Amino acid sequence: MPIVILKVLIQIIVGNFSLKKGFMKTYEQVKKQLKNHQYTWLITGIAGFIGSNLMEALLSLNQKVMGLDNFATGYQYNIDDVLTSIDSKFKKNFTFYEGDIRSMDDCKKAVKGVDYVLHQAALGSVPRSIKTPELTHEVNVTGFLNMLIASRDAKVKRFVYASSSSVYGDSPKLPKVESDIGNPLSPYAVTKYTNELYAHVFDSCYGAEAIGLRYFNVFGKRQDPKGAYAAVIPLWFSALLKEAPVYINGDGETSRDFCYIDNVVFANLLAALTTNQQAIHQVYNIACGEKTTLNKLFAIIRKTLNLPDSIQPQYRDFRAGDVRHSLANIHKAKELLQYSPLYYIKEGLNIAKDWYVRFLDPLL
């Protein structure tokens, strides 16, 4: 290899390492701030995958956490798992309300006395939204509006909500930039874009501080492997651990920007606590800025589990409503929120592997 190219590669590697080290330092500063000041947080959808990870992070930092869930897609064992994994002295800081965001009374009860709302409750899944668009609308739009109104009336400091990369729809442009979206391809995508519009209107009409996070294919511990709408990574881990077939929809060259759960937790805390006025009333891509095809993902998971190359996936038809390629531009989040991924896909899968191995089979 020519010496000039080698020097450039070394500079890139060192530069990336220094950048990641810098954002790790930012994360440590955020955690230090929370350890020194106790706030009250409401997490909707707390019994779900992302909600329970936010719950664990905040309780571990001695924060007061209120949780709201109706267990439509979340599980009591996610909450129980958090409470058994944290220091017992923090458990007193947790309060749970079993309720539904479609009920304004439930929303008002849960948000009382809250400083920050992390709104994660939703009915996910493109296929489910195509099958039941009315239910998806009730939860994702009516429920979202209820939470916005309740948060406004309770004068919460900030409302941070989960949006989705699905809002980019049929836009062929890569990587995805927040200001440039296409036509939605599913009722689920419509609901998430509607959330962003409502958040913008509540800013202009009521001065409500809201920040939207467009998640790109989040994965990690407590992600549900069960059911027809299970996410691809826990589904494949589960299948490979059981020596069952792994199915890929299409030719396997469909690509995604997979994002480890700790990156999402980091982004939520940054969005809630930022003092940068330019960062508020915005929506951000939360991802790694790294494209991975389904074929490559399968190979990485297979290697992570130390399985032989002879194990191959089975291919079937493309799924209606699915986006062919998804890749995020995360420059805006880096510049305004000081966000950057703490872990990329291989690192995230290595960290998550132990949880998948220990917990997937008992949950099936």
Contact between 346 and 292 under an 8 Å Cβ cutoff? The reply is: no
The strand pairing partners of 213, in sequence order, are 162, 284
User: Tokens 């209120």 identify what position?
Assistant: 66
b vs e for 226-237, b when ≥16 Cβ sit within 10 Å of the residue's Cβ? eeebebbbbbbb
User: What are the C-alpha distances in Å from 133 to residues 103, 159, 161, 198, 339?
Assistant: 19, 25, 21, 19, 33
Token readout for 63 is 């924060």
Amino acid at 103: S
Return the active site residues.
Answer: 188
Q: What is the DSSP string of 208-234?
A: --EEEEEE-SEE-TT----STT--HHH
Contact between 326 and 176 under an 8 Å Cβ cutoff? The reply is: yes
> E strand or H helix at 235, and its extent?
helix 232-241
User: Tokens 């419509």 identify what position?
Assistant: 190
- Per residue, the 3-state secondary structure of 244-259, as one string, reads CCCEEECCCCCEECCE
Token readout for 78 is 């996610």
Q: Running DSSP on this structure, what letter comes out for residue 175?
A: S
Task: Using alpha carbons, select from 266, 282, 276, 281 the residue that is nearest to residue 178.
Answer: 282
Contact between 235 and 203 under an 8 Å Cβ cutoff? The reply is: no
CA dihedral (279, 285, 286, 287) positive or negative: negative
3-state secondary structure of 101: coil
